[in-house]
Amino acid sequence: MDDRVINALFDAAAQVRLRAHAPYSGFAVGAAVRAEDGRVFVGCNVENAAYPSGTCAEQAAIAAMTAAGARKIEALVVVGDGPRPVTPCGACRQRIREFASGNTQIHVGNLAGARQYFSMSDLLPHSFGPEFLPQGS
């Protein structure tokens, strides 16, 4: 994927991160998903008083994508303020996998500008996905 597109996704994730609601952890995260059709959807983490029962940024971006009718992730970017690039949690890795193939691009970064790239297979090897289930179930 073109560096210009990846940079735009990083910018979108960084911008939406500013709208995160993270009063309990203080750890704001932004995510940007590029659907197969080229549309971009963003999400930020939203915590609540029943912490840790909240919504991750990746989950929010995927929900926006599915609400708009898209079903395939071409690339995903996650940005947070950590000492190194912030990767999706385990639950989000499985959520991403639902809409991604093994070679889907996952880019992660932090506010200092560090970036790292993974394929979905790198991030969640030997994963369980929709293709394991009978069609129509």
Catalytic site positions: 58
Query: SS3 string of the chain?
Result: CCHHHHHHHHHHHHHHHCCCECCCCCCCEEEEEEECCCCEEEEECECCCCCCCCECHHHHHHHHHHHCCCCCEEEEEEEECCCCCCCCCHHHHHHHHHCCCCCCEEEEEECCCCEEEEEHHHHCCCCCCHHHCCCCC
